[in-house]
Amino acid sequence: MLQEYLKAGFPALLLLTTEPARAEKIIPFDGHWRFFAWDCQRGIRLAGSSKILEEVRDPVEAINWLKGSQDTVLLAHNLHLFTDSVEVIQGIQNGAETWKSRGNCLIAVAPQIQMRPELKSIFTVLDLPLPDTEDLYALQQELGNPLNVRPNRKAARLARGLTEYEAECANALSLVKRGYFSSRVISQLKAQLIRKSGLLEVWEPEHLSNVGGLSQLKAYIKSRAKAFTPGCEHLPRPKGLLLVGIPGTGKSLSCKAAASILGWPLIRLDIGALKGSLVGESEKKIRQATQIISSFGECVVWLDELEKALSGVKSSGETDAGTTSGMFSHLLTWLAENKSPVLVMATANDITKLPPETIRAGRFDAIFMVDLPSQRERRDILKIMNARYGTKVPLEYAANLNGYSGAEIEQICRESMFTDLETAFHSVIPLSRTMREEIESLRNWARTRARPANTPDDEPEETRKIRTGPSTTPTVQ
């Protein structure tokens, strides 16, 4: 691609990359042009070499040096940090026409666009792509061959989103710790991208065995996971799932379990935490966050309680100068247009508070209703809680917990560690009783608009009715 710009006579290019050394290594090509590099400490040297040709450390002198050359490309490192100087600005403006006539090109190598208005019309912005899977696989071969360690294509694929330097460090650590190229070690090192950004959080995935029931949701994720495996590129990749339902029924837990099913890291995107006090800061942060996620690839993105994060979108112009609306607009565009292997898992307790454009086709592949657990699911939840807390609540007790959410069943098990089971049972008032009307309204909405996530019972559905009053005292077996 660079060759086309040089042939067209572009006098100045801005190459966006955080890998200046890699840029020097891969940009030069055999042909008509000679390639040199400049930085303010070493001066001018052959690109990709440490041999100094001329000790030209001043940026203005380096710009003038290019004027006296022909068919020459000069990669100028960190030149953007000197463009507040009027001498540098004037030197580039004066040199552009000369460079064009002599077949020269100045390539400013920088990590971001930071350019004075006087230079914007001169420079054309290009991106240096991060190493792809084949590049990363070749890097493993280079590191592993002297040690007789075979490369791991899965680990190479998981390393996408890392710079060459970061991938080399991750692979070297993997060899030291495991003696082979470990996908797990690569993922752990890759998580440093998230921590360094300060915009996202890395969470530990939840093992599938800790999620009771929800077999229809689990089956959906397992079947769609096939689309992310090599050789199945012809299958459409799911973009995201929206889980709506009653608080405490396992929506957030299911998001964590989805990462376990796919074997991917879990990244939490907290939209509210990205809001800043300066004008344009919030919109910039959401763009940076989605860029990091896209470059990270092969991860589950968790958006918890989406309706609260997007509250105030309709009145954003009057309340926060359009900040929330701008963040929301970018998020919707990213959800629809993102091409990276990423699965977005979003939760919502009140679907009616979400803007309608959020749930249209193309944003989320499916909307699941996570209802109160069926009796079969309640038995599964009791098994999990007994194993977690060492309690001995009889599984038959699930029949007495009709109308209780998973979180409420967990609370009963916890309470039973300090008192008898009967007292623990009566100490927890289920939401199905205190918020009966709201839950019925949500169920009515989901009946024709969402897929059921729960594991159905063999018994008739009417036995799962919401409690409307105090229950009779249960008998402990």
Give per-residue pLDDT as tens, 403-446.
999 999 999 999 999 999 999 999 999 999 999 998 898 889 88
Q: Which residues of 379-412 are buried (b: 16+ CB within 10 A; e: fewer)?
A: bbbbebbeeeeebebeeebbebbbbbbbbbbbbb
At 339, list the tokens: 């091409």
> Where along the chain do the CATH 3.40.50.300 domains lie?
2-127, 203-370
DSSP H helices, 340-405, are 375-389
Please state the CATH superfamily assignment of the domain spanning residues 2-127 in this structure. Answer: P-loop containing nucleotide triphosphate hydrolases (3.40.50.300)
**One-letter amino acid of 32:** H
With DSSP H G I counted as helix, E B as strand and the rest as coil, what are the percentages for the chain, rounded to 5?
Answer: 50, 15, 35
Q: What is the pLDDT of residue 316?
A: 55
In 3D, which of 50, 51, 54 has the Cα closest to residue 69? 54
Nearest to 439 by CA among 370, 380, 378: 370
Task: DSSP for 266-328, please give it.
Answer: EEE--TGGG--SSTTHHHHHHHHHHHHHHHH-SEEEEE-SHHHHTTTSTTHHHHSTTHHHHHH
* DSSP 3-state of 75: strand
Cα dihedral 121, 122, 124, 125 in deg (nearest 10): -80
What CATH number is given for 203-370 in this structure? 3.40.50.300
Round the CA-based radius of gyration of the chain to a whole number and report it. 29
Structure-model confidence comparison of residues 64 and 466, the more confident one: 64
| C-alpha dist (Å) from residue 215 to 65, 189, 314, 335, 376 | 69, 33, 36, 26, 11
Instruction: Average the pLDDT over 93-119 and give the result.
Output: 92
* 8 Å CB contact between 131 and 139: yes
**Residues 38-58: tens digit of each pLDDT:** 999 999 999 989 889 999 999
pTM of the prediction? 0.74
| pLDDT category of residue 329 using cuts at 50, 70 and 90 | confident
Q: Which residue has the higher pLDDT, 174 or 473?
A: 174
Q: What is the pLDDT of residue 130?
A: 86
- For the chain, give the mean pLDDT: 87
Residue 37 neighbours by CB under 8 Å, 6+ apart: 24, 44, 45, 46, 47, 48, 74, 75, 76, 77
Distance (Å, rounded) from C-alpha 115 to C-alpha 103? 23
Residue 313's pLDDT is what? 65
User: Is it the case that residue 125 has pLDDT exceeding 90?
Assistant: yes
End-to-end CA distance of the chain: 75
DSSP 202: E
Residues facing 451 on adjacent strands: 368
